[in-house]
Structure 1
Amino acid sequence: MAEVRWGVLGASGFARRDMAPAIHMARGNRLAALATRSPEKAEPFRSITEDLRIHGDYNALLADDAIDAVYVPLPHTLHIEWAAKALEAGKHVLVEKPVAMRAEEIDPLIALRDRTGLICAEAYMIVHHPQWHFVRELLDGRTVGRLRHVEAVFTYDNSSDPGNIRNSAETGGGALPDIGVYTYGSTRWATRSDPEEITHADIEWEAGCDTLARVSARFPAFTAHWVNSMRMLPDQWICFHGTEGLVRLTAPYNPSRFGPAHVDWRGTDGVRHARTWPGVDQYVLQVEAFSAAIRGEAPFTWTLEDALGTQRVIDMAYAAAGGRPAI
């Protein structure tokens, strides 16, 4: 396959701002088509590439024989439906996080992926950034000694945008589906471990959406505490604290916007070390990794099984807080 030809389902702002340009810039990939029922929303995509076919219907794009892979950035509650339809149409699928609203919804998609033999994965871009691979190396090398605790924060404030789909329970809104996947998933991925139990969950709700979640978990060898909010000053960081050292990331999830990708660490000698990765586009790396998986050159770093593991933790957090309120 000389190049992977992509179609995008829906003209979301995130697709226009981040993923469509990344597809266009990624080596061996081409943005070929967009499906949207609103022609005016298609125009900004033409500034990325003029050679873009516009379909007025999602199914029309899935029927397009000139498309190899489909990117699904639709509202959260539509991810499973359209990822499945894309697989049934013979397309490889990169679906935005979270893949589903509950863990049990992901199992049938895994089965469909296996039956079709196509690549289907969650767009979890952070694991394609070299800062996270470096953190894994530090933890695997026991730079921190015995890991005892992980602390992570990811917050922003969208209270001034009540029409945002993240503020709507009907479209799968809430802090944990949107950004809890990062604090929870990055802890799991970096440590290669899953929590045994949620020991504390304090969640605040607005119209059926969790707007502030303070959650603690116990893993087999360490504890974790995560704070996620859609009603707080924007902030993000994560710290891995052990018996002999600690590792901290100051822009773990959105280094392109929140600051440079930066990891610092120190041990018992008190000497501080730091490493920074300027100018890395994790979205481009994600697209290139996905197309490499399609070509059979390398396995994709983040599987549906990985997404399933993180969704299980989110489900555990909601259950520990008494469950989601009725809408």
Structure 2
Amino acid sequence: MKTPIRWGILGAGKFAREHMGPAIHQAEHAVLAGLATSDPAKAEPFRAFAPGLRVFGDYDALLADPEIDAVYIPLPNHMHVEWTKKALAAGKPVLCEKPIALQEEEFDDLIAAREKAGLLAAEAYMIVHHPQWQRAREIAQSGEIGRILHVDGAFSFDNSHDTENIRNRSDTGGGGLRDIGVYTFGSARFVTGAEPDNVDAHVQWENGVDVYAHVSARFPGFGYNAMVSMRMFPRQEMVFHGTQGVMRLTAPFNAGVFGQAEVHVETDGKVVRTERIPGVNQYKLQVEAFGRSLREGDEYPCPLEFSRGTQRMIDMVFAAAAE
């Protein structure tokens, strides 16, 4: 029987409490062993599903503990680089929430820290672990829909009422592009294996954070059009349009929460095939993939080099919007 990887979490935020904490504890060969928070009351909901949880009064104490094998970081965006580097320096493999960095050049330090420590460090970009996206990449690369000529993406929600949300605060590295643009950009890159040549963008701002962005881009061989917003009715969709068919993905980013994950493929003669993928917890799959990389040396599906490419595209969007 394999000894479980003992995970520690830095911070007791809502996402860790509702999604990643339970996923860690449910994952095979993993256990949620530690939580660092200055408020012991915030640990109680975690103890409901992880009764043996140890609580640390600060982040450094958790990193220093030899009984913590790996660390998950769900802190506000502007703290990700600092604490990822600290975790690696403390000898802990680290899975950090997206965006792991705020600018592409910050990846230089992250990759250097990873190489120096000789440990796995990765962004928690969970969709690449979901069978929906793995299947989408297989279909696209099989040639079933022909040569892809255009990709459309949309991801929106409305959190205008929640003014203190870290997504609505410039001092915490908030904004829609960093929060959800990573999905519309990164998923297109994941499926096609291509990188954008140039970008055009229109961005709307509120209190120093981007709340709406329309992005047009050229990739080698195909065009790209996407919208992300934190001020619109919820919508999630990705469409890959080829010379011989169209592939649509429903609930592509919050599968099981926004709706059922499905892949719809329409080919010649208006024939539509629907592949439904219910009941999959992509966060759990992410933890298990991380664990296999630690234990067995499996290649991790989302290395820092992939995340760097998505951040490069985000930087291109900000630069284009400023012109």
- When normalised by structure 1's length, the TM-score is 0.97
Query: Is residue 2:191 matched to residue 1:187?
Result: no
How much has 1:48 moved relative to structure 2? 1.3
Paired residue secondary structure (1:258): coil
Within 2, Cα distance between the matches of 1:100 and 1:109? 9
Query: Is residue 2:241 matched to residue 1:238?
Result: no
Within 2, Cα distance between the matches of 1:290 and 1:275? 27
Task: Indicate the residue corresponding to 1:28 in structure 2.
Answer: 29
Within 1, Cα distance between the matches of 2:145 and 2:173? 37
- CA deviations 1:132-168 (Å, max 9, x no partner) are 1111111111111110000000000000100000000
Amino acid at match of 2:182: V
Paired residue secondary structure (2:62): helix
Task: Indicate the residue corresponding to 1:42 in structure 2.
Answer: 43
Runs of 5+ in structure 2 lacking a partner? none
Task: Indicate the residue corresponding to 1:75 in structure 2.
Answer: 76
Segment drifting more, 291-300 vs 84-93: 291-300
Task: Indicate the residue corresponding to 2:90 in structure 1.
Answer: 89
Within 1, Cα distance between the matches of 2:297 and 2:110? 23
The percentage of counterpart residues that share the same residue type is 53
Query: Is residue 2:216 matched to residue 1:216?
Result: yes
Paired residue secondary structure (1:59): helix
- CA deviations 1:270-299 (Å, max 9, x no partner) are 111010011000000000000000012411
Paired residue secondary structure (1:240): strand
Within 1, Cα distance between the matches of 2:244 and 2:225? 20
Task: Indicate the residue corresponding to 2:122 in structure 1.
Answer: 121
Pairing 1:257-268 to 2, within 5 Å after superposition: 257-268=257-268
How much has 1:95 moved relative to structure 2? 0.3
Within 2, Cα distance between the matches of 1:206 and 1:31? 38
How much has 1:3 moved relative to structure 2? 1.5
Runs of 5+ in structure 1 lacking a partner? none
- CA deviations 1:204-229 (Å, max 9, x no partner) are 00011000000010001101011000
Q: Give the paired residue count.
A: 322
Segment drifting more, 150-159 vs 290-299: 290-299
How much has 1:252 moved relative to structure 2? 0.4
Amino acid at match of 2:257: R
Amino acid at match of 1:295: R
Amino acid at match of 2:31: R
Pairing 1:88-237 to 2, within 5 Å after superposition: 88-198=89-199, 200-237=200-237
- CA deviations 1:185-211 (Å, max 9, x no partner) are 00000100000000x201000011000
Within 1, Cα distance between the matches of 2:138 and 2:287? 23
- CA deviations 1:49-80 (Å, max 9, x no partner) are 11000001000000010001000000000000
Pairing 1:306-325 to 2, within 5 Å after superposition: 306-322=306-322
